[in-house]
Amino acid sequence: MVKRLILILTLILPPAVFASEGHGGGSNLVMGFVWRVVVFVVFAFILYKLLKDPLLNSLDKRTDDIKNALDEAIKARDEAQKELNEYKGKLASMNKELEEMKEKAFKAAEAEKAKIIAEAENTVERLKEFSESLIASDLIRAKTELKNYAFTLAKKVAEEKLKSSFDMSKHEVVINNYIKKIGEVS
């Protein structure tokens, strides 16, 4: 209520004061200036009284908002740093696991390589033994066939020789000798 009364007086008083003055020359100018200064000071005082609290409240609110925003930004930065550290830890852990997996895979590959080489050597040894036994059996079979062939050939040659040199008289002598031998054995 007091504020409204001061505002109304500020607006009504200066024109009424200026209207009552006459045309007094130079003092009018000084008085006009003084009244203008007084009116300005009163107006500034009224503005100060009327706008001080809302302006201060607005500035305080703005300051609080800025502080809150800074606090939130600091919290967000701290959380982001924490997450970054967690992710760095996870990445280091994953890199370690990856190295372990590589090492295990390398060891498994080396073991598989050794196993394959051992199996290959075993297979080569078995093939060598099989080949040797096959060669030995082929050699025995070849010797047997060669003996049989030689026997057959010798028999043929002997038969041919006997046929060519054996006439009927010799044949009868051989048969008689044979009969005598059979008779002696029985």
What is the structure's pLDDT at 149? Answer: 86
Q: Which residues of 125-153 are buried (b: 16+ CB within 10 A; e: fewer)?
A: eeeeeeeeeeeeeeeeeeeeeeeeeeeee
> How many other C-beta atoms are found inside a 10 Å radius of the C-beta of residue 10?
16
- Alpha-carbon span 26 to 32, nearest angstrom: 10
What is the structure's pLDDT at 14? Answer: 60
Look up residue 178 and give its two tokens.
């044979």
- Alpha-carbon span 126 to 132, nearest angstrom: 10
Rg of the chain taking only CA atoms, in angstroms: 68
What is the structure's pLDDT at 105? Answer: 92
What is the structure's pLDDT at 4? Answer: 66
What is the structure's pLDDT at 72? Answer: 94
Do 45 and 3 touch, CB atoms closer than 8 A?
A: no
Look up residue 8 and give its two tokens.
């109304």
What is the structure's pLDDT at 10? Answer: 65
Helix (H) or strand (E) holding 98: helix 26-165
What residue ranges do the domains of the chain occupy?
2-185
Look up residue 171 and give its two tokens.
């044949």
Enumerate residues 6+ apart whose C-beta is below 8 A from 24: 31
Q: At what angle do helices 2-20 and 26-165 cross, to 10 degrees?
A: 130
- Alpha-carbon span 56 to 62, nearest angstrom: 10
- In this prediction, the residues of the chain whose per-residue pLDDT falls under 70 are 1-27, 162, 165-169, 185-186
What is the structure's pLDDT at 9? Answer: 63
